Amino acid sequence: MKLNDGLERLRHCASNLAEIFVSIDEMRLVTENGQKRLGMDIRESMTGTPPLVSPSRYLIVTLGGWYLALNAESVCGLLTLEETGNVENLTVHGRVHSALNLADRLSLPDDAGGANTRVVLLSERESRGSIRVSMVQGLLDLQPSQVLPIPLQFRGAERQWYRGMILIAKSVALVLNTTWILNEQVSDLESSGGQEALPGIRRPPELL
């Protein structure tokens, strides 16, 4: 029953993200991105006069003690563990969202299992999947200039994993590349240690 309740909430997710995100705790997300206002909350972000250059919206989550950011355009739903009914591969509107272990792929401590754990449903083109995060912090609207590039010294496969960095509180949130998260082929090859055949992923140089 709980799963059905959760799925019901997802019914309109593709057309209206606000309905989904309004369930997020209205936690103020303090940023230091040079904005005049240092805080943003969920409802405020849904209203007001749009700026001349439309910002990108990011869902800020934590996992393994890290801040991570997901492009909100790829997020189509949030569920509590209870709402998923402990079903790993959720089927929504006849489409399967396979469970992806993000903590494992990023070699992070998997602390997603507490009361604040949320399952984030992701979709991009024909790819779909779900990830567990330990907490959802909120939404953040940012101009493109506020997303910092990954430093060039990071030369390995991680350049495919991240889209940039966001200054948040006194820390940094890494913007995840949803395409990489959802790309099972890359995941399988990486977990087996193979990198040679992956287009666009270079073997990291040997050092010293």
Partner 1 sequence: MLRTGQKHHRTAVCQPWQLLVFAVGGRRLAVKALEVSGISQWNDSIPVAGRTPFVTAVIRQGQTVLPVFDLAASLHLTVQGSRPLCLRVKHPLGEMAMCIDEEIPVLHVFDPAAIQTYQGKDLPAEGSYTNGLDEIPILSISLLGSTV
Comparing CB distances to partner 1, the nearer of 200 and 205 is 205
Which residue(s) pair with 95 in the sheet? 92
Least distance in Å: CB of 200 to partner 1?
14
Residue 188's closest CA among 63, 154, 180?
180
Comparing CB distances to partner 1, the nearer of 54 and 171 is 171
Q: Give 123-170 as a 3 state SS string.
A: EECCEEEEEEECEEEEEEEECHHHCECCCCCCCCCHHHHEEEEEEECC
Q: Which amino acid is at 196?
A: E
**Where does this chain bind partner 1 (CB under 8 A)?**
32, 34, 66, 106-108, 148, 151-158, 161-162, 165, 167, 170-172, 174, 204-208
In Å, how far are 7, 143, 181 from 56, measured between CA atoms?
A: 26, 6, 19
Least distance in Å: CB of 14 to partner 1?
30
Which residue(s) pair with 138 in the sheet? 60
Comparing CB distances to partner 1, the nearer of 80 and 143 is 143
Comparing CB distances to partner 1, the nearer of 126 and 206 is 206
Least distance in Å: CB of 163 to partner 1?
13
Least distance in Å: CB of 175 to partner 1?
12
